[in-house]
Amino acid sequence: MSRRALLGWIGKTAGAGALYQAMTSLGFAAESTHPGTLNLGSTPKGASVLILGAGLAGMTAAYELRKAGYKVTMLEFNQRAGGRCWTLRGGDTYTELGGATQQCQFAEGNYINPGPWRVPYHHHHVMSYINEFNIPIEPFIQVNYNALVHSTHAFGGKPQRYREVQADYQGYAAELLAKVSNQGGLDKALSVEDREKLFESMRHWGALNESAEYKKSYEVSLRRGFAIPPGGGLSPKPQASVLMDRSELLQSELWKYIVNGQDIEFQSSIFQPVGGMDNIAKAFEKRVGDTIHYGAKVTRINQSDQGVSVEYEQQGVAKTAQADWCVCTIPLSILSQIPVKASSAMQSAIRAVPYAASVKVGLEFKRRFWEQDDAIYGGVSYTNLPITNISYPSTKFCDKGKGVLLGAYVWGANAFEFTSLTPEERVKKAVEYGKKIHPQYADEFDNGISVGWHRVPWTQGCYGMWTEASREEHYENLCQIDGRLVLAGEHASNLPAWQEGAISSAHDAIKRLHQKVVSTTT
């Protein structure tokens, strides 16, 4: 067994944390690099660009192109900017496809982000604009070890603490690997020094005793929690907690949730704009809002050797916008329904990408029972129920008023089922499922709002679902400058569903477009 094979085996069996621990011990871990900054340079006098869609990709393009000297015009379907960078607050009204209208009833200061809700530290493009625009941010708590993991098929359907599952699974996995290492099973794969380092790292990582066993102990309880925690004075002596049965833990499959926070997108630090994700959109809008024509529904995109002509409707009136060049950020789910004059390769690429189904449900409760009763301050609980997870707010801790949970974040077949329901039925379902994790739902629920992304008029889906095969066949054709047209957005990136993908896609598109503009006018 080679070192590479060994590390692969550790990753598959013990998870990302064990893999990273082993890689660090063997000197293999490394940091990623930071992308460069954007500087377009001078622009040919009088050059104009028409940007379709005032989401983050569109507004990024508008902001940077206008700084470079381009005349910019934007067409936006909605009466607001931001696209999927969207926040619902008390008093907001939202009408989905089919005509169902909801009015958000949240108390002042409470909100839900139906689209993006987190900004990882390494999303450098997003963080760069947050810094440039002085957007106030605060920590978003992704991993809370005191949150819950739940399966209807395990432990009698009783939710378990994240920290207990992680500590026990990690400890049992470390014990098995340490035994293999200490019994000569890796003699041919590793040197004596490597085996010693690996053995010691597994003892440390899994909180094993001197015999490399994972047993009930004070040290283990420092990770998974105590049956009786340490206290002061004449309070009871601390008592170590009882470990889960190894076989029952393995069969429960609860261990699959504990690696979520170790994915690079969810590693600390993660941030959120104070008061709602749309504050990022509002910061862009403040700088480019005067270029945006709101309520503009694009109906046709034409181009020639001389320029671009886009037909659109605004308040029932047919209009036309013209420019030298066009950056189109309309989601492919919508763009595929619009006649576009482009190469057959680009048209095929536009039609090749389906959009994921997803549903979010925001639930407001009379009090923050998850903090007051369960000591859960931020973070995410996971379940095998259709709601997938419950996310606790990372703001207004210990507030005595009402609180809002992300009560469901539904994907796949369950999302199609939820989307088929009325908004009120989705909320009802989220409450019914949530009771199995937090019984307090029954008495504390106040109101809710739901967004099924396939019913959102301006996207008709959550994000572009590329496959390895479709990327191989269509991705470059989608991203190429086609005559005077270039596409941008999360669908034109290798970070689908993320704001970072949208903004980095816009940077790449306008850099290449600018180079073409300069080369064709000199």
- CA distance readout (Å), 105 to 275, 404, 435, 453: 16, 11, 21, 20
Q: Which CATH number fits domain 88-146+269-276+356-455: 3.40.50.261, 2.60.40.420, 3.90.660.10, 1.10.540.10?
A: 3.90.660.10
Q: Which CATH number fits domain 3-29+152-252: 1.20.1440.230, 1.20.1440.240, 3.40.50.300, 3.90.1170.50?
A: 1.20.1440.240
Per-residue pLDDT tens over the stretch 22-40:
444 444 433 333 555 677 8
pLDDT, mean over the chain: 92
299-328 burial, b if ≥16 CB within 10 A, otherwise e?
A: eebbbeeebbbbbbeeeeeeeebebbbbbb
pLDDT of residue 35: 56
Per-residue pLDDT tens over the stretch 264-297:
888 889 999 999 999 999 999 999 999 999 999 9
Residue 42 has pLDDT above 80, yes or no: no
CA 507 to chain centre: 20
Domain borders along the chain are 3-29+152-252, 53-82+284-353+464-520, 88-146+269-276+356-455
pLDDT of residue 6: 54
pLDDT band at 226 (very low <50, low <70, confident <90, very high): very high
**Who contacts 417 (Cβ-Cβ below 8 Å, separation ≥6)?**
386
Mean pLDDT of 302-324: 97
pLDDT of residue 196: 85
Other Cβ atoms within 10 Å of 368 Cβ, number:
24
3-class SS at 113?
coil
Q: Is 187 exposed, middle or buried (0-12, 13-18, 19+ CB in 10 A)?
A: exposed
DSSP annotation string for 121-148: TT-HHHHHHHHHTT--EEE-----TTSE
Beta bridge partners of 379: 392
**Amino acid symbol at 488:** A
Residue 170 has pLDDT above 50, yes or no: yes
Higher pLDDT, 2 or 233: 233
pLDDT of residue 36: 58
Per-residue pLDDT tens over the stretch 176-196:
988 887 666 666 677 888 888
* Residue among 155, 185, 350, 108 nearest 251 (CA): 155
Residue 327 has pLDDT above 80, yes or no: yes
Chain position carrying tokens 């959109």 = 281
pLDDT of residue 26: 43
Residue 21 has pLDDT above 70, yes or no: no
Mean pLDDT of 298-314: 97
Mean pLDDT of 64-87: 97
Mean pLDDT of 115-144: 96
Token output for 33: 């690099």
Rounded Cα distance, 129 and 127, in Å: 5
pLDDT of residue 33: 36
Residue 450 has pLDDT above 50, yes or no: yes
Chain position carrying tokens 């440039």 = 132
Per-residue pLDDT tens over the stretch 457-482:
999 999 999 999 999 999 999 999 99
Mean pLDDT of 225-245: 95
pLDDT of residue 27: 41
DSSP annotation string for 346-365: HHHHHHT--B--EEEEEEEE
The 3-state secondary structure of 219-245 reads HHHHHHCEEECCCCCCCCCCEECCCCC
DSSP 80: S
Token output for 467: 């496959």
DSSP 35: P
Residue 2 has pLDDT above 80, yes or no: no
pLDDT of residue 268: 86
Q: Which of 8-22, 210-224, 378-392, 430-444 has the lowest mean pLDDT?
A: 8-22
Rounded Cα distance, 114 and 459, in Å: 13
* Residue among 261, 307, 50 nearest 166 (CA): 261
Pairing, β 101-103 against β 226-228: unpaired
Report whether 72 contacts 66 (CB < 8 A).
Answer: yes
Residue 19 has pLDDT above 60, yes or no: no
**Assigned CATH topology for domain 53-82+284-353+464-520:** FAD/NAD(P)-binding domain (3.50.50)
Rounded Cα distance, 145 and 209, in Å: 23
